[in-house]
Amino acid sequence: MFALSSLKLSLLLLLGLLALLTVNALPAEVSETHGKNVSDVSPAKEAAAVAAPHFVIYSDAPTSGITGPPPVADVKGYNVFALSFLLTDGAFDKALEWTTLTSAQRTTVKSQYAAAGIKVIVSLFGSTDAPTTNGADPVATANTMAAWIKEFDLDGADVDYEDFDAVNAGNGKAEAWLVSFTTQLRNQLPSGTFIITHAPVAPWFSPGKFGGGAYVTVNSEVGSLIDWYNVQFYNQGTTEYTTCAGLLTASSSTWPQTALFQIAAGGVPLSKIVIGKPGLASDASNGFIAPATLAGCVSQAVSEGWNAGVMVWEFPDAAASWIATVRGSTFPE
């Protein structure tokens, strides 16, 4: 303990006052997104920059002789493999198969896939699950699913929300559910460590078409928490998204403003719009484009500034040869 002279004490008080005035004079840094102070935005709630292009393949159907993901060579050319599905009632199909492997087996598979540059994630919900309609709590559901992802050492989640009744009701409940669910899922699966994608059908980006806004609202509210969208440009009508023009430039009047570049013009970052297609015509009701033709669409999109990537439903109908054709010389392996 040392005593200060009255002169020294006066000088120190004066310096402290000047420092306080200087700090208070500095303007608060404002994020252009949402117009909030940077200090108000939790780093865990800002999606990590995951570099495009993304080449995503889903796996749901049982494959003879294969439990869980296939050998890496079978999915060469992809960089994300989605086990399907984890539902509100638990794991099913390929997601369930993943849990039947031993911890050592899962570690081996993950190491092999990581060495090939492929992330292994789980797809949530799918066409058989209707979490909003069925009254599932979004926060509790996110907590349960995030815990499952961590327990089984996966790289993230794809939110394949297909509760059409809830969206079509137009009362905003579907959108509010998705916003709460996505927010909590990102809280549990932080950016930079886990991937979070969504897989909406393309029409859900149509402005003014749905009472609650569908994915126009979701993107506005929590788009910053979503790494990219695996957009389903299929199952929406026999002539919908079946040509390069309809897929990329101008959608039909049935689902207006939902071609790729129209979705981007509506406010979704172009780098986040991954083109989703079925591997075979039999993998969807409609919307199929032959791989060689799709490769031309992809090349055209790249020439116009897009590079987000391609998603396909599903393995084994689409495998290494399918994506090699679609990538072509535009995205050489």
Question: What is the per-residue pLDDT across 65-88, written as a single tens digit (0 to 9) for each?
Answer: 999 999 999 999 999 999 999 999
pLDDT at 33 over 50: no
Structure-token pair, residue 273? 């719009």
pLDDT above 70 (res 107): yes
How would residue 4 be classed by pLDDT, with cut points 50, 70 and 90?
A: very low
- CA distance linking residue 306 with residue 327, whole number of Å: 13
**pLDDT at 101 exceeding the cut of 80:** yes
Could you tell me the fold of the domain covering 45-327? TIM Barrel (3.20.20)
- In this prediction, residues 109-132 reach a mean pLDDT of 98
Query: Please, are residues 243 and 294 in contact by the beta-carbon 8 Å criterion?
Result: no
User: In the chain, pLDDT over 70 holds for what percent of residues?
Assistant: 85
Alpha carbon 283 to its chain centroid, in Å, reads 21
Indicate left, alpha or beta for 52 from its phi (over 0: left) and psi (-120 to 50: alpha).
beta
CB 310 within 8 A of CB 322: no
Percentage of the chain exceeding pLDDT 90: 85
Q: What does 195-239 look like in DSSP terms, one character per residue?
A: EEEE--BGGGG-TTSSTT-HHHHHHHHHGGG-SEEEEE-SSS-TT
Residue 23: per-residue pLDDT: 32
Closest CA to 201 of 277, 123, 289: 277
Q: What is the pTM of this model?
A: 0.85
Taking a C-beta distance cutoff of 8 angstroms, is the pair 230, 311 a contact?
A: yes
The CA-based angle 168-127-268, given to 5 degrees, is: 60
Q: What is the average per-residue pLDDT within 109-128?
A: 98
Q: Is the peptide bond before 85 cis (omega within 30 degrees of 0)?
A: yes
Quick check: 56 pLDDT over 50? yes
- Please tell me the predicted confidence (pLDDT) of residue 6: 37
